[in-house]
Amino acid sequence: MSRPPFRVAPLDAGHDRAVFDSGSAPLDRYFREQVTQDIRRRVAACFVALTKERRIAGFYTLASASLLLADLPASLGKKLPRYPTVPAVRLGRLAVDQMFKGQGLGGALLADALDRAARSEIAAYAMLVDAKDESAAAFYWHHGFISLPDSPLTLFLPLATVLVASRVIMSPSVAGHCSGLAN
């Protein structure tokens, strides 16, 4: 079996962010100018997909969050404790460099983020994401995320389903894209 083309690792000072170009000016600006401040302030963690040459092919950020119990679909909310909020992990940003689009890297990064959140020792009910538009929401719907009833661009995926589904999500075709998952 050949080595996966990408390795996922926490962002560090040795990674060159200057040439990263996702095609989205706000995402690129955040990645170049703000992400290290968020890491230093401990409001987000950033993980990057690296090529063998250590070029950044994609990234995502994770942060703690909460979901209002009342915002969840009634069928799921009634199965949870009656706290006003339930803990969640927010996938704040996910981007792939234009040079690497169309290779399944976005899905592989999402799978890595889900795996990392589900295996954390800190409990969380779901992964939460705010899609920037319908196209982004379609990406998350494709991967099993559910829209909040009153906010269709805010989506979540219960993390209890991730460990069970990880056998499917991390099939050899997807897992072959990245190594170092949840390290």
In whole angstroms, what is the distance from residue 129 CA to residue 116 CA?
15
Distance (Å, rounded) from C-alpha 106 to C-alpha 31? Answer: 16
End-to-end CA, the chain: 21
Q: How far is CA 1 from CA 4, 5, 8, 99, in A?
A: 9, 12, 18, 24
Best CA proximity match to 116, nearest among 74, 63, 77: 63
Rounded to whole angstroms, the Cα distance separating 176 from 102 reads: 15
Catalytic annotation on 140? yes
What is the rounded CA–CA span in Å between residue 35 and residue 48?
Answer: 12
Strands 45-50, 56-68: pairing is antiparallel
> Which active-site residues does the annotation give?
140
